[in-house]
Amino acid sequence: MTVVIDNPLTWRDVARVGAGEDLEVSDAALTRVKTARDVVDAIIEKGIRAYGINTGVGALSDTIVDRPSQSRLSQNIILSHACGVGPLLPAREVRAIMTAQVANFCHGYSGIRPEVVNSLVSLLAAGCIPEVPKKGSAGYLIHNAHTALVLIGRGYATIKGERKSGAEALAAIGLQPLTLQAKEGLSLVNGTACATGLASVALARTERLLAWMDAVAALTLEAAGCQMAAFSEDVLSLRRSAGIAKVGATLRSRLDGSELIARAVGRRTQDALSLRSVPHAHGAAWDVFVQSGEVVDQELASVTDNPVVSGTPDHPVVSSEAHAVAPALAQAADSLAIAIAQIAAMSERRMDRLINPLVSGLPPFLASDAGSHSGFMIAQYTAAALSNENRRLAAPASTDGGITSALQEDFLAHPTAAAQKLLTVIDNAESILAIELMAAAQAHDFLLQDGKMAPSNRALYDMVRETTPQYQDDRPLGEDIKILTALIAENQPMDLA
């Protein structure tokens, strides 16, 4: 399928291109791009003072750049800003960032030439992925600069697994290095495309993770013999939340037809909170997910350049503002990281209840021969360690300090850092959930003679057992965690029902 930019994209569109779908730009969008470029050319011709067009950038915004030097300024911005460090971003995330950047240009306020937009789209179409280091950006500049390097024949990119210089990569897909014109260097590093692209990928992963969280919780609840009365529609409707209603309906559906649940009725007055409050905690995460998606869609519908150009070539307007600052985006990513960290911690607690003989009623640590076998004793350590790391990562990036550019940029919202932190929390949560999933499947191995499982849960159990047999201390347990983490990351749980 192909995502076409005409009207504003959504985070789902950006995530789809990140995952490999094609991107096209409509004629109407390219016309908007061309009109904005005509305005920039008029600003240059008329000598109107404009930030980043005929002045320096950052603390050098009052330094005038003469006309012969304006193209060199654009190139120099790319070279000086490409100073990222650390491991490279995955291709999926780079593609999403590039998509969000093209979408911003297509609003028609950036003043970049259509040739630049078409070159970015060509990189995506050819699977040419610029090398973008993960670390170093306090806002948005550095990641974007590394992408722009390839457009001017510098830096490095990967095509079909082969690393090439920027010039080699362009030649391989039939492009020439661009000679950037006035403002284009600033436009290529400006805006919130980096954080928006990363947040779009995070939202796609979160949606899948939350669906798995509900499914795996249902498998655990059945093994624990939960009291279903707490999940009735009438009871849950007393607390107003679309997320709670959604999770409650999922649990009732996935546990429908369970003989194990039927036999557990009245066994306890009420379950422990890690079981009883699944709709509330998971539901809150679903609510935050929806709200965060709205913020990212709002970002994609917004112009995030500084400056923006408007008006007409006869009456050009250039406006310096702060649209490239994204506090709402940072706060949304921080909120979602907190929500995921919380329900991943709950997942670890549910897993612990399955392996703890003091509360489970099952063999200690779900070991097939407790004593000579340790079962899942140490897997719980891993889940606890990841949960604790998530707690540290849940500290908000949006409240971080930082003063840059000689006091000119003395407030930083840190949306990129918040989005990257969110992606790491998701990584950890997928592994924590994989550990709960394998423990829940093992618990059911000991319960198969006690009654039939709910059909939906049985489908999930069977899929786990197709990839990872019952554990008997006969292989490294880390390999099972890796297999089930991949299962969660690459599949939808509804496919199993």
- Residue 280 pLDDT: 98
pLDDT digits (tens, 9 = 90+) for 125-164: 999 999 999 998 776 789 999 999 999 999 999 999 999 9
pTM (2 decimals)? 0.95
Instruction: Summarize the confidence of residues 364-370 as an average pLDDT.
Output: 88
Q: What is the rounded average pLDDT of the residues 214-228?
A: 97
Residue 442 has what pLDDT?
A: 97
Q: What is the per-residue pLDDT across 474-485, written as a single tens digit (0 to 9) for each?
A: 999 999 999 999
Q: Kindly report which listed range (113-122, 133-142, 192-201) carries the lowest average pLDDT score.
A: 133-142
Instruction: Please tell me the total number of residues recorded for the chain in this structure.
Output: 497
Residues of the chain with CATH 1.20.200.10: 199-496
- When pLDDT is averaged across residues 168-185 and rounded to a whole number, the result is 95
List every span in the chain annotated with CATH 1.10.275.10.
Answer: 2-190
Pairing status of strand 162-165 against strand 316-319: unpaired
Write down the H helix ranges in 356-449.
357-360, 377-393, 415-445
Between helices 193-223 and 327-355, what is the axis angle to 10°?
20
Helix H segments across 224-326? 233-236, 242-255, 259-264, 273-276, 278-300
Q: Does residue 184 carry a pLDDT above 90?
A: yes
The pLDDT of residue 410 is above 80: no
Q: Name, in order, each residue with C-beta under 8 angstroms of 356's C-beta and a sequence gap of 6 or more.
A: none
Choose the weakest-confidence range: 107-116, 269-278, 360-369: 360-369
Query: Pick from 128, 121, 135: which is nearest to 153 by CA?
Result: 128
Q: Where are the alpha helices (DSSP H) in 82-113?
A: 91-105
The reported pLDDT for the residue numbered 136 is: 82
Least confident segment among 119-123, 153-157, 267-271, 404-408: 404-408
Question: Per-residue pLDDT for 276 more than 50?
Answer: yes
Architecture in CATH of 199-496: Up-down Bundle (1.20)
Q: Grade residue 56 by pLDDT with cuts at 50, 70 and 90.
A: low
Check pLDDT > 80 for residue 404: no
Averaged pLDDT score across all residues of the chain:
93
Query: What's the pLDDT band for 354 if we cut at 50, 70, 90?
Result: very high
CATH 1.10.275.10 matches 2-190: yes
Q: Minimum mean pLDDT among 42-56, 83-97, 396-410, 415-429: which range?
A: 396-410
Looking from the CA of 335 toward its CB, the CA atoms found within 13 Å total 19
pLDDT-derived band at 497, boundaries 50, 70, 90: very low
What pLDDT score was predicted for residue 405?
63
pLDDT at residue number 65: 66
Confidence grade of residue 381 (pLDDT, cut at 50, 70, 90): very high
Q: How many CB atoms lie within 10 A of CB 237?
A: 12
Give the C-alpha separation, 248 to 44, whole Å. 60
CB atoms within 10 A of CB 166: 21
pLDDT of residue 50: 77
pLDDT above 60 (res 496): no
